[in-house]
Each structure stands twice: as structure tokens, then as C-alpha cells.
Structure 1
Amino acid sequence: MKKLSVFILLSLLLFACSKQIPEHKFSYVGEWQSKEMYLLILADGTVSYRRLQNGGTTSINAPLKEFVGDDFIVGLAFFTTTFKVTKAPYQIEGQWFIVVDGIKLSKSIEEL
């Protein structure tokens, strides 16, 4: 019972720390993916990330802290990760793309 209470408390803190996506950055919201990377950004500031690289997997599930230019920072307190956006969300023939950490991702067609 104690472990469940701690889990619930930590979950509430995690989601309470996320910042809603600013209106001028709303094009970032969505499910983005390539063969080696998956990135989900929700309007409430929740971010889920998974990357396959060098035979291993890196994943992050944390709140968005802030945008710095086109880049965005995800994490809690001192444990943060900066996602380098070399090309902000853009459209080609109705399909959305973004380039994050050197990887070109396409946006899922389904609305969130």
C-alpha cells in the first residue's frame, strides 16, 4: 500500500510540473516517428520519447519544461534533456515533418 501511495504522489508531481504548449509552438504537438525514433508531445506538456541507437534504447517520459528557440527541454528539476530541433515543424504536400537531434520525423495523421 505504501509503494502505491508513493507511486501516485510521484505521478501527480510529474504531471503537475508540465507546462502547457504555448500557442505559437502548437505545431509541435503530435505523434512524430521514424524508424529509429518516436516522439509524442501532448498539448498539456507531456512528452514521451524513445530512440533506438547503437543496439540500445533510450526512453524518456517527462514533462516539458520550456522552449529555447526551436529546441525544447524535458525533465524534472536537475534531470533534464534538451531536444535539438534543427528544423521546426513544417509541411510538404500536407504531411508534417520535424528534424530533432538530426533525425527527420513525420507526424502521424491521426489527431490526438
Structure 2
Amino acid sequence: MAQPDIDTDETNRLIASNKVEGTNVYNASAEKLGSIYNFMVDKRSGKVEYAVLQFGGLFGIGSDYYPLPWDVLTYDTEQGGYVVNLDKSVIESAPHYSSGSEPAFDQNYGRQVYDYYGLGYPY
């Protein structure tokens, strides 16, 4: 029996992870900051804890990775990307890591990231 041809990548409320990865991130001035490299999902609750912004470098070379609490991102349909109400200099000073040196992503690191953005760590 043939399966119906259903678009499983996106609905009006949900989006597949492979469509989030690579999505551009802009600041409130519509300046492109980088793109979503990946996101970190809590294994038990299924909630996204961080979107990891690939930022800096040239064409992805030499860039670093900046975990952003999911709640600081807003999807803008007109820009086709996420918007953060953060200046570039705020992100440059944020907790980050380079390729091959991922943090533990434990509760201590989570508190550090969320505290930096002025949010309470919910996990």
C-alpha cells in the first residue's frame, strides 16, 4: 500500500529539525549574525534548551558556537529566519566554544548561559 505524500518537514506550528539547522539569525536591526548550527534538546522533556548559533569566522571557517536560550529567539516569517534582540557585541562576549571543544552542557553550564542573557534557568 502506498503511503500518502505528506509534507513532514513543516506545519503551521511545527518545523523539522533539519529545517531549523542552517536558518539565519538576525538582530533587531536586520543584521545577519550567523545561523543555527544545531539545537540541544532535553532527552526527557523533549524541550529545546539551546539553539547553537554559529557566529564569526568567514564562510563557517574559524567561527565559534554560541548557545542561545531558545526563548531569546523569535521566528520572523518575512526574513525567513530567527531574530534576537541582542547587539552583536553582547553575543561576542557570551558563553561560547570552538569546534571540537564542546562544553559539558550540564546544569552548571546551563545556568551560566541563561544567567548571561538575564533568564532564569528552567531545568
Larger radius of gyration: 2
Same-fold status (TM-score > 0.5) = no
Give the alignment's TM-score, normalised by structure 2. 0.28
Q: Which has the higher strand share?
A: 1
